[in-house]
Structure 1
Amino acid sequence: MSRWAWLWRLVSRRLWFRAAAFSFAAALLALVAPLIAPLIPYELGAKIGADAVDNILGIIASSMLAVTTFSLTAMVSAYGAATANVTPRAVILLLEDTTSQNALSTFLGAFLFAIVGIIALSTGFYGEQGRVLLFGGTIALIVVIAVTLLRWIQHIALLGRVHDTITRVERAAMAAVQSVQHRPRIAALATPPVPADAQPVRCGDRIGHVTNIDLSELGEAMAACGGHVHLAVLPGSFVDPGRVVAWVVDGDEATCARVAESITVQRDRSFDHDPRFGLIVLSEIASRALSPAVNDPGTAIAVLGAQLRVLQKLAGAKGAPFDERVVVPALAIEKLVVDAFRPIARDGAAHVEVAMKLQKTLAALGGFAPDWSAAARHAADDARHRARAALSIENERLAVARAFEDWPE
């Protein structure tokens, strides 16, 4: 994704942006009525008095302020519940929830529309015909508020719940799969060899996670110098001043600087373009559920199903089109499997149902994705050893030991 498109994406998903846009549109709608007023018949305007519109606007102004405050309280409570009961890394997905943003923006916009309308009516800004337009806009706004409230009531009942958060993280990881440049490979083949005469590129004094790489900018830079670049990082990689992020062949210092600028580094990791982060967050949800304070093996089993669906899509990914002058490393299969399943194997070793489900999940992964079978079997062996050490009943140990080979029985 280009740098400017990435910045626009970040800004447009902020809660304040949508609320500000809706509020500006609502205030503008209330102020443009006099400009269209001459098109309204005078007789129709005379039938609608200022008091009729003013009373409705007063009700909207008082009620929408209360609804907006309630909505903010409910959203903050949902964010707190997600932080405490799921994982703090998933809260960003709740903050970017479009339904919540649309509801809050609609209520705030309706409040401002009513306030601006009341002020304009009290100053005689509209006139006879202008009141007709204001009245029509108010009726339309009431319909929008009613529909938004109905959707919001259903939505707020699920916001921040464990199952809802698992679904959101799974969808974010699925969306990130669409941006991978190569189908995941074993670690030995994930990174292509770098020519001996390549120049190293570093990100200066920036420390953080790679969140976006402007591949189109890299392609233009390589076309200008006639060389090619080997990237050493992917979205999600942690970089520091000493780490090489790319190798440039047949490029000068200006080209190397351009390559470094095309790599966005931020403090926090992002779900965009980084399916591995989605798998990590899913495993964190399972680990929280398996903690002694929560003790919810069912959530860990649900997470294993979500992870298997994400990995299935990753295994079948064909990769997005890319410029041959920009060599991008692939995701390493072994790292993906370890990130997804090792925390669950560690924290769920003492739960026989979780240990068995993990063995069956890994067997299924190796069954539909032959390239993943070696990593899946290695993870299954590790999980089986952990379960054998944690389980005290021999029958349960045997059940876990047979689960991988007995799949899909």
Structure 2
Amino acid sequence: MGANAKRVFVASKLPKHTGVSAWVAMLPPRSEKPRLEGSVTADVVVIGAGFAGLSAARRISEIDPSIRVALLEAGVVGEGAAGRNSGFIIDLPHEVSSDDYGGDSMSNSKEAIFIGRRAIGLASAIAAEQGWSHDIFDPCGRYSVAITDEGDQHLVTYAAQLAKLGEKHRLLDAREISEVTGAHSYTSALFTPGTVIVQPAAYIRGVADSLRHPIAVYERTPAIAFESMRQGWLVKTPQGSIRCDKIILANNGHAESFGFFKGRLLHIFTYASMTQEFDPSRLPGDRKWAATPALPMGTSVRRIPGQGGDRILIRSRYTYHAGQVVGEGSLKRAGALHDRKFGTRFPNLGDIRMEYRWAGAMAVTWNAVPAFGEIERGVFAACGCNGVGASKATASGIAAAELVLGDSSELTEIYRRFDAPKALPPQPFTAIGAKANLAFREWMAGAE
């Protein structure tokens, strides 16, 4: 292909979501932004209004408020993958990788912490500016909870490594964590104060609605294709088009739908269920808390207070779907697991049923690096969150905005040092390996 030949990228599929996210269902109906109709121009088009895309748009406006941004959301803001998140904006890495914790391991963890805290910094600035309540944005910290001897030991080891990093933390015994959760199933816990807990759908809606001219948000407006022009790009939507200089792909796994990162993204889905409301007096302890598992691939739990009663969220189970679509059968099987996890942790709530169940997508790379950077002249990616999407996707959006505008920072320097996503084995070996790996890691997590 010649240097001046037209480059055309057409979406092979659009996002599809399985199940109803409780976070969306608990909110009033959204007052949607309009669809794009007709032809418009912009300096930058951002594809995807999740954590990455919204953060990119916000950061662009901070660097240069005059830049015209068109932000395209295929569906309704807050109802995509971001609004299916469990709402942990985490500042610390889940894992630390070395027993002696020196050299590269220490450096990598400090970089991971910087990434998480840069994301929290941007989110905190928006929350303060908008005056959000703790129902939407709560810098309350989180608990990592154990339910087995192996989980207990992991927390002790992790606490020692946090001490070497100089990070604040507090270990809790079974009695202490029971006083927080009202559950007698947890054997120990580790509290870290830096995590922010959000109502993810309300957060995403709020960030979108905080953006001001010359940023334009278009809902129910998927980008179905884009093609190069003599100068810049033409982005096509079902009822319109946008001429622009640059594009930021902030659509995570669906970057592959446009032909990018082919064979380099693993499409993983995780699942959550949320109970019906129950009388808060039935469960002692704090009415609001959030916990991640001591071991990877375990069970995250949140207690959410409300005017009509409290609810419990259970998140567990991971599955691989190359086609980026989850069937009802997968959701049903995950729901059965959630019921067992809930019953084990809260036996005194045995008559409380799950009201909502849903699946959420994430994109993972083999070498756990983001799918990031300039992937075509004037086209930039902020994809491949590798889990912890609220933190990593936010940071990737910030870094992409800075890269697009040539604004160098410590964050962009970290992102420049990441390797490219590693190529996956050909199918069916990727599918076989991914499914086997997920099954093994869930087995290793055991009761956690």
As a proportion of its length, which structure holds more helix?
1
TM-score interval for Structure 1 and Structure 2 normalised by the shorter chain: under 0.3
Q: Larger Cα Rg: Structure 1 or Structure 2?
A: 1
Normalising to structure 1: TM-score of the pair?
0.23
As a proportion of its length, which structure holds more strand?
2
Q: Which has the higher contact order (CA 8 A, sep 6+)?
A: 2
